[in-house]
Structure 1
């Protein structure tokens, strides 16, 4: 009797354990076919006028990360993830307290080891799990082919330590208060801004990834953090010019 029950229990557990491997978008699915990103110029806003002092974001000195965490009764079987963009593009007008930048979802990295350590994540997903996370994130959750860009248009609010930011993600724009720390060079040619905030995927019409009826899932809330450097580089072609002109 015990052996029969044991075999039956094993038969039930097998598909369950297989499904558990997909927590937090970890399903090791094959990556989507590679596509050449279509170039998209940053649309110029009304505040980008001739004579306005403009600094250009330096992508090689800037970083934006999004941390998503596991949830559900079986969360312990999965992983948290850090997604990062190192390809930010855009402009800052310090005197006006305005900034506008964007990045492509399909250019984001997933689970760089140094970023996982910095975020205090203790588990180590396999290469297959990371590839599956990227595929599910882009294809199933964010629909990156349909909504490839994330755009942020920010303006100073109050004392300057908080920005009011219009964030466009997944075709939905939400206005949020964004605490920020700004450091600017005395000559006005370099600026660094850093900060973080909490977002909910559902606020942007995104359904968080889940399996087993939600027993294993990605939490709705995600943590966005950024460190952005903008500078005036007189040696760059068109430096000081306004985008879109």
Structure 2
């Protein structure tokens, strides 16, 4: 193997390690470090609904939101696509008003659950260290989750009800998008299921997609969001054996 090819291979390996591993901790210091002062992070406010409007509550154990991000750049073949998921959606739905509002925390997201990777048709298998590195880079370098911990979505039905107009607030930026949605309601009005998918761009929310080596290895700007949400009457959520957990 020529010297040039050896250096090229070494550069590729270094790039892969840089993309999929956490940042190295800073060198230890002997100087005393003051204890951080915890800053409470408020839960986004729930919508103000007319008195008497029936409200259903999202059941997190029956709901799922996933975001698929894909690799890009000339060295994309050395990286992995990723599936990020929230199992902790919380919020309310007012079916008669055609309105819903829900949110989830970024630091509660999972990365690359095996079953979700298979469902998304992803064929590579990242290691546990690579997954941990991806999650660290996502929360710290890309999303600044300490500063912007919540994703908030407010939606309302439009037209014939199969299209939702959703205001998505991410990274401190709010964008309005149209979301084709399938909605199924129980005859007694005590249960609602909604599902849909859409494409978003990270840059639309002021986010710079992760990249190294001048973009030779990068995450594509476009991401695929899909959701399956179940909302039920509050008495159903609190019934014995329902598996529901108290709100945060």
Q: Which runs of 5+ in 2 are unaligned?
A: 26-37, 239-248
Matches within 5 A, 1:113-152: 113-152=114-153
The Cα offsets for residues 87-128 of structure 1, whole Å up to 9 and x where unpaired, read as 000000000000000000000000000000000000000000
Q: Within the alignment, does 1:211 sit opposite 2:212 as a pair?
A: yes
TM-score normalised according to structure 2 size: 0.85
- Greater relative contact order (Cα < 8 A, sep 6+): 1
Number of residues paired by the alignment?
227
Asked if 2 retains the 8 angstrom alpha-carbon contact of 1:57 and 1:228, the reply is yes
Distance 1:234 1:28 in 2: 44
In the alignment, what sits opposite 2:43? Answer: 41
RMSD: 2.1
Give the superposition deviation at 1:215.
1.2
Mean CA deviation greater in 37-46 or 167-176: 37-46
Determine helix, strand or coil for the equivalent of 2:6.
helix
**Alpha-carbon contact 2:66-2:84 (below 8 Å) kept:** yes
Q: Does residue 1:17 correspond to 2:19, yes or no? A: no
Q: Measure how far apart 1:12 and its partner are.
A: 5.4
Aligned to 2:229: 228
**Higher mean C-alpha deviation, range 6-15 or range 63-72:** 6-15
Residue equivalent to 1:243: none
* Correspondence for 1:56: 57
Pairwise mapping of residues 68-79 of structure 1 onto structure 2 (< 5 A)?
68-79=69-80
Q: Which residue of 1 aligns with 2:172?
A: 171
Shift of 1:73: 1.2
Structure 1 position 153, deviation (Å): 0.3
Q: 1:63 to 1:215 in 2, by over 3 A?
A: same
Distance in 2 between residues matched to 1:30 and 1:86, nearest whole Å = 29
Give the TM-score taking structure 1 as reference length. Answer: 0.86
Cα distance in 2 for residues equivalent to 1:143 and 1:16:
27
Counterparts in 2 of 1:183 and 1:27: CA distance versus 1, 3 Å: same
Structure 1 residue 131, shift from structure 2 partner:
0.2
Are the aligned partners of 1:21 and 1:77 in contact in 2 as well (CA < 8 Å)? no
> Closer, same or farther in 2 for the Cα pair 1:30/1:81, shift >3 Å?
farther
Name the SS for the 1:234 alignment partner.
helix
Displaced runs of 4 or more, over 3 A: 6-9, 28-31, 36-42
Q: SS where residue 195 of structure 2 aligns?
A: strand
TM-superposed deviation, 1:8: 6.0
Q: State whether residues 161 and 179 of structure 1, in contact with CA within 8 Å, keep that contact through their aligned partners in structure 2.
A: yes
Instruction: Work out the CA distance in 2 between the residues paired with 1:65 and 1:189.
Output: 25
8 A Cα contact 1:102 1:150, kept in partner: yes
Counterparts of 2:167 and 2:55 in 1: how far apart (Å)? 20
Residue ranges of structure 1 left out of the alignment (5+ in a row): 238-245
Partner of 1:27: 21
Tell me, in whole angstroms, the C-alpha distance in 2 between the residues paired with 1:19 and 1:214: 11
